Structure 1
């Protein structure tokens, strides 16, 4: 799953190669992106520290499957609570409301091969508000609340967003590789440059989804009349 095991010889491994090593917990039971054995190497470990890395930084600690399950469960619960609040407030305002969430980047992407990039590298969760539209589940809600009807899924949106996620993922990998070259003694991207690039990419993803929301609503209203 994580590629072949890298052998350390005369050529120093890239950070990408280190990240591709099989993930097993270190002796202290913690799974790390760059494992303890790499930090214990005098040459590589020192270079990593000089470039601002540390073995127990939050960004170097891998969350377990249980950690992610708990994270997603908490986010789903927050979404359920927001949906209840939306329906309650819209009912108080319009007399009736049965709305349900629509995910712009949908579950097929989050559950697919590119999902880990979004939640593990970009710290984004699909159930959070940035990725959610509230849409009517019946005609009465659509008419009473003047909101678009829930389409279930929109394959064209999924296709577009998949293409964009693949592009964002590639750009992140390019930045990470450049940062890794620096960390291992080469001329590449500094830690500050990498963090700035990552933050900018995360903002771009959120902003792009926000732009998609208005496009989706406009198209739904056009089609639904």
Structure 2
């Protein structure tokens, strides 16, 4: 949303540039905003932000802190642990034994790498949530009794393929931002804020759907390899 370019006199500023003019420190109410409260008092910048439909407490203007993300990931991990417990309990009741563990289709190396911030910061996705998780056998007994594929650990070919998908999704999102910025520059050839949000939501759903498409194929390939 920060690709839009605004003209102040002869100088054109994008929202990204305005954001860079400010320091990511908390306001006096303890909340860290993308555009701090004080900047809204600027007669040019403040009025420009309001014309674009922003306000100081707009959810888009609230910057998540490192602590926010740590808490968010910790809660998601806890939910995953609980789902794994339920899965193992249900499968044990059915087959007499089960020790399955989560496998992340978009794995930790990607989330912790240079593209992770795009997934959780721009797309509001968390890798520990169900859309990205397969439950796979942690031992041979579980494979045989429960009929599920064994957990392979990290699989470089899968990581490489998924990384290429993520790079493409990230580039497409950047193009969306560029197109959004054209609207503020000339009003022609760009997209509105509503169109940007709709396109972003569609891209987010495409990511979820692609991972869902990959899941049965990963399982089938693991079963083939593992015999």
**Matching residue of 1:191:** 193
Instruction: For residue 51 of structure 1, report the CA deviation from its aligned partner.
Output: 2.6
Task: Identify the residue that residue 10 of structure 2 maps to in structure 1.
Answer: 10
Alignment RMSD (CA, Å): 2.0
Instruction: Give aligned pairs, total.
Output: 218
SS of 1:42's partner is coil
Correspondence for 2:178:
177
- Structure 2: unaligned runs, 5 residues or longer: 1-7
Question: How big is each residue's C-alpha offset from its partner over 1:142-161, in whole Å with a ceiling of 9 and x where there is no partner?
Answer: 11111111001111111111
In 1, Cα distance between equivalents of 2:195 and 2:141: 51
Does 1:98 pair with 2:99? yes
Alignment-derived partner of residue 5 in structure 1: none
Residues 61-70 or 32-41, more deviating = 32-41
Contact 1:32/1:62 (8 A) holds in 2: yes
- Deviation track 1:112-168 (CA, whole Å, cap 9, x = no partner) reads 111111111111100000000000011110111111110011111111111111111
Structure 2 CA distance for partners of 1:50 and 1:176, relative to 1, 3 Å: same
CA contact (8 A) 2:105 2:211 kept: yes
Q: What is the TM-score with the length of structure 2 in the denominator?
A: 0.88
Deviates more, 1:153-162 or 1:53-62: 53-62
Determine if contact 2:73/2:126 at 8 Å carries over to the other structure: yes
- Structure 1: unaligned runs, 5 residues or longer: 1-7
Q: Match for residue 114 of structure 1?
A: 115
Q: TM-score, normalised by structure 1?
A: 0.89
Residue 149 of structure 1: SS of its match in structure 2? coil
Equivalent positions of 1:118-197 (< 5 A) are 118-183=119-184, 186-187=187-188, 188-197=190-199
Residue 39 of structure 1 deviates from its aligned partner by 3.2
Contact 2:24 2:34 in 1 (8 A): no
1:223 alignment partner, one of 204, 211, 225: 225
Query: Which whole-Å deviations, capped at 9, do the CAs of 1:16-47 have from their partners, x for residues lacking one?
Result: 33445564225434322234454333333323
Give SS of 2:136's match.
Answer: strand
Taking a change above 3 Å as real, the CA distance of residues 158 and 52 of structure 1, as seen in their structure-2 partners, is same
Looking at structure 1, the residues matched to 100 and 26 of structure 2 have their Cα atoms a distance apart, in angstroms, of 47
Picking from 196, 203, 214, the partner of 2:205 is 203
Q: Which residue of 1 aligns with 2:55?
A: 54
* Partner Cα separation in structure 2 for residue 54 and residue 31 of structure 1: 14
